[in-house]
Structure 1
């Protein structure tokens, strides 16, 4: 990776050269830092922590005092030093790039202080260009000598009050590239699942990250009920530290060391992607599965956790296929032509070999929506946010997505292969093969969100009959 540039911090005129601190000076720095840390804690009355634990939601990471400490382990005494007795970088403190791609890099031993991420290494050339890592947060590469000086003897604004090791793995979601409210699709698939895919593939310690840290607050808004419910399902294996908690961490003066962390930055993922996949399809995770996450069963532990929480048991290997049609007729955009909708419902009801659900998701609770998806073998309907729940479907399930004839997007097609789901797109009366037709970028025509979109019922019913004949997870395949 030597062709990548990196961001070095110039400490001049504070420190022209970086000799290894003498043992005497090192001990003095540590004593002074410890005294200052104790003074802050005693005089502040723990103002950095939420005092009212009743404010904590089920998805918030529980801590002894409220918001911050939890699984943190203090790096006391000599553990604060980055150098061994020979003046060499201690391996257990070295920052390493474990894998990933633009906007989704996975690091071992990454540091954070006062709003800036720090990588500590003798070889800065191993790190990607910082614009490929993060756009919103400074990212600086330091030598161990620079780090020792900066954190324990340098300018007041960079001196460490306390060091904390955040164990168990972290997904960090930068606020860069987001405007306004984040829909369940963007929140669950583009952010949570994409980062989880990287973590589950590259982590050497766990299939679950201990925590997610959300720098922005747009994931709440109009979709907060569903987004927060998903977080509740992930706890206690994975907790969230939301925006107030992150701001408190930044202001604490602590040097936070993340043992394993995926740094997600939407701008970096979409605007600096070397394969151009993200820009052409307007998808931050374009190319992620092909380049990084080849682990076939990466999502199964998460799905098993959600099944257990909701009391869902997968049916026996052979069972009558469960077909769910998402009915969008009461929504204020992207409806099916009424005659086509009615013909499709009548046709589906006439198929005797299926268990059919015609779902109005607006009338279901988050738990009912996710439970329905967990139990569905074949999901069909018009393109829309309801397909976000495809992530809960079993491997070997099938998705039929209907588009207006002037439009096509890979929102759900792109995630179907990593999830092991067979995918079909339909333009009215044609099963549409975007690869064969040479479509190379997202197509959003005037009818993309129109009312009364044509969708030939017979085409969908014929595709369903063909799919049932081919079989799937419901037939033992």
Structure 2
């Protein structure tokens, strides 16, 4: 069973029912692929909008991508239907109430690609995109509004007769932060945690172990005729994002339009703080963007020499010698971080107080999510390639993102024309050339600027 669905707490409801569903289904905000809805019901592979007027809710094309088949042999289609008078639970399997905010991941059904098993695609596209949207939502949860239950004729009395299970909030605080999620629900993707355990580690850091509902847990919750009630639902859907969002279409990155909704990098500070608190990592902040946290600049080199995407070995050794010389001057601490040799908590802690991080294009740069706002991220490419993956993460988090290609800085005005050029060089084992002397001198100037 999925951990988030184990041992649900039985709710003690008595007439008149004190149920968290406080009204009709409402569209709260977001963009296609990251849509926030309140008071949504689910039953037998269908979502239901409850109430009289759903004209303000985006149409299905902008909400969801439906599957036409399932691995268990059924041909049900997950879709949305309107239902004026609420769920008919009489004689059914009862109700499970999922309160707080749930991030519902719709990718991973047969025929779709999720990328959840890869750190970059999960952490930055799914998680950072979702939290960027949530940071723009200021409307209280329905249960916080404390409205009387009076919208459906007789529904409260009918619900009171049913067994109702409630998944508790996963929160140590009395006041729920509407910008944070209470759980992450992996509905269909059975291989979501298939690479290094990073997707699970990120999920646990943000919602706790009990806040994860995996596909086994979701199947167990929904294999009867029970109705599932979501107080607040954030629907993430890769295909929907790519179909509808202008920036996603230009750059082929699903989260770019979602990032734009974050009011400022500071609006995402609570996400980083909650994550680091979970792993008992001290929270460091910088007093001023572009300046070091301490008396020395902490530089982390994300070393990929154990992979196929790397500098030539001779170039790498020369780079290490230059980095040591810079460090010996006493103005920087430079760490050669072979991440495959560091446990996950150690990786998160390593970047939690970094001022500058650099390395060749790759998953390790996703760790900029845990670096204090206002740092510098340096991404290295061969001259013939560029991919707009980590630069937008830096933008939403308030870091300066710099691209270095062999012997010079690659200016932002050239990013769009060359995006995706010769992409094979990122995957075919091509070594990344680097003019070590020129790069080291340039890196030293960036260090000096942070002091």
TM-score (norm 1): 0.75
1: CA distance, partners of 2:95 / 2:235: 20
Bigger Rg over Cα: 1
- The offset of 1:414, in angstroms, is 1.0
> Partner of 2:204 in structure 1?
232
- The offset of 1:189, in angstroms, is 1.3
> Partner of 2:165 in structure 1?
none
CA contact (8 A) 1:76 1:163 kept: no
> Partner of 1:428 in structure 2?
406
Kindly indicate whether residue 433 of structure 2 is the aligned counterpart of residue 454 of structure 1: yes
Quickly say closer, same or farther: Cα 1:433–1:75, change in 2 above 3 A.
farther
Which of 239, 242, 266 is matched with 1:270 structurally?
242
CA contact (8 A) 1:113 1:250 kept: yes
CA contact (8 A) 1:387 1:412 kept: yes
Which of 320, 343, 348 is matched with 2:323 structurally?
348
> Partner of 1:404 in structure 2?
382
Structure 2 alignment gaps of length 5 or more: 67-76, 141-175, 287-292
Q: How do 1:62-461 residues align onto structure 2 when only pairs under 5 Å count?
A: 66-67=6-7, 69-70=8-9, 73=11, 79=17, 92-136=22-66, 138-145=78-85, 147=86, 151-152=88-89, 160-176=92-108, 177-178=112-113, 182-202=117-137, 204=140, 205-206=176-177, 207-215=179-187, 216-223=189-196, 225-236=197-208, 239-273=211-245, 275=246, 277-290=247-260, 292-308=261-277, 309-314=279-284, 317-331=293-307, 333-351=308-326, 352=329, 353-436=331-414, 438-439=416-417, 441-449=419-427, 450-461=429-440
Quickly say closer, same or farther: Cα 1:173–1:418, change in 2 above 3 A.
same
1: CA distance, partners of 2:264 / 2:116: 32
2: CA distance, partners of 1:367 / 1:107: 34
SS at match of 1:126: coil
Quickly say closer, same or farther: Cα 1:174–1:444, change in 2 above 3 A.
farther
Quickly say closer, same or farther: Cα 1:462–1:129, change in 2 above 3 A.
farther
1:314-340 deviation line (CA, Å, top 9, x unaligned): 278542110011221221x11112332
TM-score (norm 2): 0.79
> Partner of 2:164 in structure 1?
none
- Aligned residue pair count: 389
1: CA distance, partners of 2:12 / 2:43: 15
Quickly say closer, same or farther: Cα 1:298–1:440, change in 2 above 3 A.
farther
2: CA distance, partners of 1:112 / 1:126: 20
SS at match of 2:380: strand
Quickly say closer, same or farther: Cα 1:111–1:467, change in 2 above 3 A.
same
1: CA distance, partners of 2:30 / 2:367: 25
- The offset of 1:235, in angstroms, is 4.4
